[in-house]
Structure 1
Amino acid sequence: MSAALLLGIAGLALLDSLNPATIVAVTLILIAAPRRPGLVAGAAVLGAALTVFTVGSALFLTAGAAAGAVNGIVTGLRFVAFGAAGIALIVAGVRRFRDRERRPIVLPTWFSPWTALPFGVVLTAADLPNAFPYFIAIERLVATGTGVGAGLLVIAGYTVIYCLPCLVLLAVGLLARRRVQERLQALVRKLGTGTVKRSAAIGVILMLCGAAVISVPFWIS
């Protein structure tokens, strides 16, 4: 395995790590978890890491033999991910046709490390169809004939880099808990209070964007 290949895969992992889904999820948990926010956020990151490593290992080990099945799973996840995002945009657009009070940002009381772990798994799995650097990295491992042991080590390293922004955010939240908590609480008060004024123009734009997002899998499948 060449240094150029490792550097290329590390670059792909770094690009993939700038994923807003997991970063926003960890931020939300640190802000609004009912108790033990650090532990709950860590469990969500662990769930994301398990998904990245498990799916990547499965793709690497079964490349060719299960290519059709993997493609079917990826296509299905793509429809789910884009469909959910499109529906969320349409609902947000409909809500902009009237004034509404902002609701406080809270997580349910049952949201704990035990529920955050599968939450991280599902959130990351739904987002994987859009993780093009991820699939390019695995394709490079297969194309270069990388051995099983070395390939799994590389995928483990990719997983660590993928989770790096969330781990940094988590570490900052734990080490500077009081300062971070004060700033996050200010953000909570800003986003969770007041009135959102109606805007028909924004509502229409959001609904059109939602319809466009829903149609994306039909164009790329």
Structure 2
Amino acid sequence: MSLTLLLGIAGLAALDAFNPATILTVALILIAAPRRPGLTAAAAVAGAALTVFAAGGVLFLTAGAAAGAVDGVVTLLRFLAFGAASVALAIAGIRRFRDRARRPIGLPAWFTPWTALPFGAVITAADLPNAFPYFIAIERMVDAGLGPGEGLAVLAGYTLVYCLPCLVLLAIGLAAREPTRARLQRLIDRFGSGVVRRSVPIGLLLLLAAIAVAVVPFLLR
């Protein structure tokens, strides 16, 4: 396992860590959880971590086992990563062609640490198709021929880096509740209310970016 490989995967994890879905989930819990917001937010982060590590572990182990017998497994991972990113950009671009009301964000009364764990896992799982750095990292691990133990250890590190912004937000929220709550409330209000106005130029740029990303795996063959 080379230092270059580890640094590359760490960089991909850092890029993947700034995930709006997971970060906004933690912010919302700290603001609106009916009770024990700190513990509930920590449970949601734990659920996200379980999804990242478990899904990555399954993908890495199955791809690694097949790589020696089936040609093109690494190439398949590359197409999966860039294909998911291209689809996400295309959907975002199409949505910018019309005005769109944001849905109000809130938490039900039954939201507790016990329900926050699977909630965090499901939110992260739903967002994985957009996490192209995640698939690129697994591709590099398979391509480097890492053993199961090494691969799972690297995935554990990836998971930690992925959860770092949420853990920092959680720590700040617990240390300075009221100032943090006020700032987070403004963030939730911004993303949970109002209308997203149509923008044809932004929509076209996103569609062009989707096409460019879709072409990348063909250029890397």
Normalised to the residue count of structure 1, the TM-score between the two structures is 0.69
2:172, 2:136 → 1: CA distance?
29
2:62, 2:175 → 1: CA distance?
36
| Aligned with 2:56 (options 52, 61, 76) | 52
* 1:85-134 Cα deviation digits (max 9, x unpaired): 31222212322xxxx7x646515648843233122123224423675354
2:23, 2:68 → 1: CA distance?
38
Cα pair 2:22 2:48 within 8 Å, conserved: yes
2:180, 2:187 → 1: CA distance?
11
Q: Does 1:10 align with 2:9?
A: no
Q: List gaps (5 residues or longer) in structure 2.
A: none
* 1:168-203 Cα deviation digits (max 9, x unpaired): 33333344444322210132335555676x67xxx1
Cα pair 2:86 2:210 within 8 Å, conserved: yes
SS in 2 for 1:215: helix
Q: Does 1:135 align with 2:134?
A: no
Residue 31 (structure 1) shift: 2.8
Aligned length: 204
Q: List gaps (5 residues or longer) in structure 1.
A: none
Residue 208 (structure 1) shift: 0.7
Amino acid at match of 1:118: V
Cα pair 2:23 2:165 within 8 Å, conserved: no
SS in 2 for 1:93: coil
Cα pair 2:17 2:162 within 8 Å, conserved: no
Q: Does 1:149 align with 2:149?
A: yes
1:71, 1:56 → 2: CA distance?
14
Q: Give the root-mean-square deviation of aligned CA atoms.
A: 3.5
Matched-pair identity in %: 27
Normalised to the residue count of structure 2, the TM-score between the two structures is 0.69
| Aligned with 2:211 (options 202, 210, 215) | 215
SS in 2 for 1:19: helix
Residue 219 (structure 1) shift: 1.5
Cα pair 1:41 1:170 within 8 Å, conserved: no
1:18, 1:150 → 2: CA distance?
20
Residue 136 (structure 1) shift: 2.7
